[in-house]
Amino acid sequence: MQLSKHIFWDVGIESIDFEKHTRFVIERVITHGSLADWHLIKKYYGLELIKKEALMIRSLTNKNLNFLSRLFNIPKQEFRCYKQTQSAGKHWNY
């Protein structure tokens, strides 16, 4: 797959097994990828597998969560990242 190299800035893209590291690849494309990257994984994995893996991702921005929730017509509350939001509070404003 010819995904954008900046998505995998911290690992060598040549060392990624796209079958073994499915959730990692899908998460990186959702969080850091372009529209072209999205179309590549959609063609490679299919929407059903993307949906299954997206439900298990631990951390997503509100924008990404809303996108996936609307795309798959699944309430945000069913996503793992929604159930396990970080308990750390926001910084104080002085």
pLDDT digits (tens, 9 = 90+) for 8-43: 999 988 889 999 999 999 999 999 999 999 999 999
At residue 93, does pLDDT exceed 70? no
**pLDDT of res. 83:** 80
The residue that leads in pLDDT, 48 or 85, is 48
Q: Tell me how far the alpha carbon of residue 78 is from its chain's centroid.
A: 15
Whether the pLDDT of residue 61 is over 70: the answer is: yes
Q: How large is the greatest C-alpha to C-alpha distance in the chain, in angstroms?
A: 49
The per-residue pLDDT of the chain, averaged, comes to 90
Distance from the Cα of residue 13 to its chain's centroid: 17
